[in-house]
Amino acid sequence: MRPSILRRLFRCVASTAVLGVLLATPVTATAAQPAVAADTLQQVTGFGTNPGNLQMFAYTPAHVPAGAPLVIALHGCTQTANAYYANSGWPKFADTWGFDVVFPQTTSANNSLSCFSWFDPAEDTRGRGEAASVVQMVEYAKRTYGSDGRRVYVTGLSAGGGMTANLLAAYPDVFAGGSVASGLPAQCATSQAAASGCQTGPQQLTPAQWGDKVRASYPGYTGPWPRVAIWQGTSDYTVYPANATALRDQWTDVWGIGQTPDGTSTLPGNTTRTVYNDASGKPAVETYSVSGMGHGLPVNPGTGAGQCGSTAAYFLNTICSTYYTGVFWGLDQGAPGGGDGLPAPSGLTVTGVTADSASLSWSPVAGAASYEVRRDGSKVASPTGASFTDTGLTAGVSYRYTVAAVDSSGAVGAATSAVTATTTGGVPVQCFTASNYAHVTAGRAHTSGGYVYANGSNQNMGLYNTFVTHTLKESPAGYFALADSGC
């Protein structure tokens, strides 16, 4: 029987449990008995010998077929798997793009603050401790959910970010990519006493010396290296921004591409993205510097395609890092080419735009009964021909499109690389003068720690009260910036 059919048999009707709340009775699963799929977080036991004494929780959307990607998401200190599930935004994109997520959890039995032990060689090196337990979870997911071993990714915050870097170094044969948020370079510390020194200022090593720490984690490895995203707030005084620089130096050296960027761009939330390409011109390392952000995972609550998560301790309202990480890994582009399905259409092009539409065309694929068009990761149409016009769009906004061929049985083939279409026109500039309290009430700003920040630009507007007044300029829609000197 085909794995996809087995997968459908194994997937059960989604649970009606409230999203974000653990089931009262966790599901127990063994290698011989596939875990039940449900749209909520469930605990899995019996996933392996578990030398690191970790707990495994999984989010496995019922509609996800066999051969889908797998994401491992590691929480920070004092957090839990459930907190990371509820606030990080990963379930949204697992539903939208189609993949499974495993949330490993450590407890105070391992560390008094429930931190992953990124500083302990007995726990964070190949074949040992917590690192080995995480890899056993990956193997369980491959056996039980049918996860694609070529598309396994790991991400983590703070101590989870430090463990992420160590996992990428120790298991480059397991992980195709990683994302380190407010974390540490691989093997920055090899004892708990040295950990705090890494957090406030890692050693002044050359890129080659940082790279050597990765190469020494799996001596003799000659395969491809993981693609790495690095997220860091410029006002992080728990894990200092110097760690992001060390991570950049470390992984660009491992890739052999140097530290000269191939491009920079400005993203929402005062975020600067810097790209370092491999020899083929594909991004291998990307850094995301969030101006003014402290220690935490960047999230951006909302219903937009690029929004996600909810604010909580160490989940900071700036930008949806999960969305940009997923796009960097290619999770929004469907299955990779070269499999048994139809190939990706060639020549995907934007042929025209108006204020509310975008037109696309591509080369026909032999054997295609229809095509699946996705906008910003969500399916929007199934045309039978090799062109499509998307309507009802917002003026002055950029949209990302991919196309995949669908055969007569309904199997979706490989997706194209994304193209961007930007509609013409835009919302006229609008200005609003009001108190900080009124701006927040009207949805133009938000609060954090008693202060008010403009939505979009995240500029600090001062204390949350009715006495401080500012003028905010809105352009484009939903993006507000201070304009006290004139709109």
Catalytic residues: 158
One-letter amino acid at 450 equals: G
The secondary element (H helix, E strand) that includes residue 251 is: helix 242-255
Per the CB < 8 A criterion, the answer to whether 250 and 228 are in contact is no
Whole-angstrom distance, CA of residue 143 vs CA of residue 150: 14
Report the DSSP pairing between strands 55-60 and 100-105: antiparallel
CA angle 324, 320, 344 (to 5 degrees): 30
CA pair distance 376, 308, nearest whole angstrom: 13
Give the DSSP letter of residue 383. Answer: -
Alpha helices in 18-128 (DSSP H): 81-87, 90-93, 121-124
Contact between 103 and 154 (Cβ < 8 Å):
no
What stretches of 32-93 show up as alpha helix (H) in DSSP? Answer: 81-87, 90-93
Q: Which residue has the tokens 């603050």?
A: 113
Could you write out the DSSP letters of every residue in 433-472?
EEEHHHHHHTTSEEEETTEEEETBT--EEEESSSS-EEEE
3-state DSSP percent of the chain in helix, strand and coil, to 5: 20, 30, 50
β-partners of residue 412 are 406
Q: What is the DSSP letter of 176?
A: S
Which tokens is 227 given?
């693609």
Q: Which helix (H) or strand (E) holds 229?
A: strand 227-233
* Residue 476 near residue 485, CB atoms below 8 Å: no
Helices within 94-150 (DSSP H only): 121-124, 129-144
